[in-house]
Chains A and B, each alone.
Chain A
Amino acid sequence: MANWTIGEGPGARLELLNGLTAQLDAGYLVVTDDDVTFSRRGLLAAIKVAHHLGMDLAQPAHGPLSRSTYEFNRFKPGILARRTMFVEQGPVLILSPTAQRTVLPFPVVDQMGWGVEVHWYAAAAQGLVLGILDAIRMTHHGRVGASYNRATADRSLAKALSSRDITSVFQMQTVLSVYSAASCSLR
């Protein structure tokens, strides 16, 4: 890991991520937290599925034992993916080159990034393809809000929502279409 580590020190999550992504020129970018696990080929499959379905901002679904903030991001059995208007800012996010041009650098709205989804909701309304990959399941081990002040995060989210006249985060959690397993001719 020392080979890949380019810096260390404290800082807000999105500020640090902006620093890391500033000079990268990779096709797909996988922004991940440090407390997530997948099945053996899970993450590679997630990138391939996102590419295959043409998703710009994709997120693997939370597995049955994963700790998640919203049930919207939890897996739905029997389907490949959902095209949505909402993708959470963590724990794992897959950005296509188009998404990188649109959403990077991340707006620093909060220490941990709460409220950034509102900006992505607006981008989705303008044509960015957001989606949740239900067939690829991750397990988020960390307790949500354990390492930061949840009340401050909630205030940031409320502020971001009111800036776009959105009444609640659930208003953004809309499914536009569903990709069934059959649509990808899976055996």
Chain B
Amino acid sequence: MPAVRYRSRVRERAGPNPGDRTLPASHLGPLLRGAERLWRGLPSPTPRRLNRIARRLRKDLADPTPRRVERAARLWPMPPARIVCIYRFSNHRMVKKLLSQTGLPATL
């Protein structure tokens, strides 16, 4: 059954969790901002700069190290820590997200 064999190969190549290969959520904001600038006809990055960003994105997405480290770090002990931040109210959503992601005590 060639079709089945092909599918299993694809699954192997994608690794145990193919969901890992999706674009990280943190990339979405800057990409949408760039798309909006293009849509509105605002000055957009030069082709050279776009190429540079595309190259960086490709390197980032192809690199398995961050996923491996995050997986390994789950087993490492968490030292006591505290977040210190000065925030402008216009950015309070990002700080709120950071605090809820980590669950660490904070001084703001």
Interface residues, chain A, with chain B CB atoms under 8 Å away:
1, 4-6, 13, 16-17, 20-21, 24, 26-45, 47-49, 51-52, 63-66, 74-75, 77-80, 134-139, 141-142, 181, 184-187
Q: Is B70 touching A41 in the complex (CB atoms < 8 A)?
A: yes
Known: A36-B98, A39-B70, A41-B70. A48 touches B77 (CB 8 A): yes
Query: Do B80 and A64 touch (CB < 8 A)?
Result: no
Residues on A with C-beta less than 8 A from B94 are: 34-37, 141
Bound-complex Cα distance A49 to B71 (A): 12
Say whether B79 contacts A51, CB under 8 Å: yes
Q: How far is the CA of A87 from the CA of B82 in the complex (A)?
A: 20
A32 touches B60 (CB 8 A): no
| Residue contacts A-B, CB under 8 angstroms, 9 given | A1-B96, A30-B81, A34-B87, A34-B91, A34-B95, A41-B74, A48-B76, A48-B78, A66-B30
* Known interface pairs A32-B85, A43-B98; A63-B79 also in contact (CB < 8 Å): no
User: In the complex, A40→B103 CA distance in Å?
Assistant: 11
Contact B26 A39 (CB under 8 A): yes
Least CB distance from B75 to A in Å reads: 9
Knowing A35-B94, A78-B63, say if A17 contacts B84 (CB, 8 Å). yes
**B interface secondary structure, majority:** helix
Contact A39-B66, Cβ < 8 Å, known A34-B92, A65-B30: yes
Q: How far is the CB of B25 from chain A (nearest CB, A)?
A: 7
Nearest B residue to A64, CB-CB:
B56
Per-residue contact bits, chain B 42-84, to A (CB 8 Å; 1 contact, 0 not): 0000000000010011011011011011111110111111111
CB distance from B48 to the nearest CB of A (A): 15
How far is A80 from B106 in the complex, measured between Cα atoms in Å?
A: 27
The answer to whether A45 and B69 have CB atoms under 8 Å apart is yes
Contact of B80 among A16, A26, A141, A186 (CB under 8 A): A26
Would you call A63 and B73 a contact (CB within 8 A)?
A: no
Asked, given contacts A64-B60, A65-B57, A137-B60, whether A4 binds B69 with beta carbons under 8 Å apart, the answer is no
Say which residue of B59, B98, B102, B104 sits within 8 Å of A37 (CB atoms): B98
A165 to chain B, nearest CB (A): 32
A38-B26, A77-B63 are contacts. A135–B101 as well, Cβ < 8 Å?
no
Task: Select from chain B the residue with minimum beta-carbon distance to A37.
Answer: B26
**What CA separation (Å) do A47 and B82 show in the bound complex?**
10
B77 cross-chain contacts in A, Cβ below 8 A: 48, 51
Whether B68 and A136, one on each chain, are in contact in the complex, defined by CB atoms closer than 8 angstroms, is no
Judge if B2 is at the interface, Cβ distance under 8 Å. Answer: no
Q: Is the beta-carbon distance between B59 and A64 smaller than 8 angstroms?
A: yes
Contacting B81 at CB < 8 Å: which of A5, A47, A79? A47
Q: What residues on B are CB-neighbors of A75 within 8 Å?
A: 60, 63
**Are B82 and A49 in contact, with the CB atoms below 8 A?**
no
